[in-house]
Amino acid sequence: MQPSMAHELNDADEQILKLLLEGRNLPQNLADELGYSRQYIQNRLQMLKAADYASNLGGGLYEITDDGREEIGAESGADVDELRDALADARAAHEQVNGDALGEALERMADLLGVNDAE
């Protein structure tokens, strides 16, 4: 494994990382959303990857790393796999129109996200 390179974030880097907080994304989508060229976003992603702030999952799909979250001051939050499982449960319950199961799945997602009913 290569050591990470020091990297001072510019405005575009912070915007990219904030979008990656919302979920995995592709350079073209990020470019469209942020108003930069795909090539510029690709270059910034390579720098973010070298600094261990983002990782390439293959096929051009990027996600933010724990170091990236820390760099922009975002909380790690729930485990992504747990959250995906909770979402899958909620979708399955919705399809079955099972109110109890849906309620339990939604409560589980809220717990994972740290959201309470008052919000």
Residues sharing a CB contact under 8 Å with residue 66, sequence separation 6 or more, in sequence order: 76
* pLDDT > 90? residue 15: yes
Cα–Cα distance, 15 to 64 (Å, whole number): 12
Tell which residue, 67, 68, 65, 47, has the closest CA to residue 55: 65
Per-residue pLDDT at 60: 92
Confidence label for 98 from pLDDT (cuts 50, 70 and 90): low
The proportion of the chain whose per-residue pLDDT surpasses 90, expressed as a percent, equals 48
Over residues 102-108, the mean pLDDT reads 79
Compute the mean pLDDT over every residue in the chain, rounded to the nearest whole number.
83
Report which residue type is found at 113: L
pTM of the model: 0.60
Q: Provide mean pLDDT across the span 32-39.
A: 96
- Of 118 and 7, the one with more pLDDT: 7
Degrees (nearest 5) of the Cα angle 71, 73, 74? Answer: 110
Cα–Cα distance measured from residue 6 to residue 21, given in angstroms and rounded to the nearest whole number:
21
Helix (H) or strand (E) holding 63: strand 61-64
| Token duo for residue 89 | 């449960």
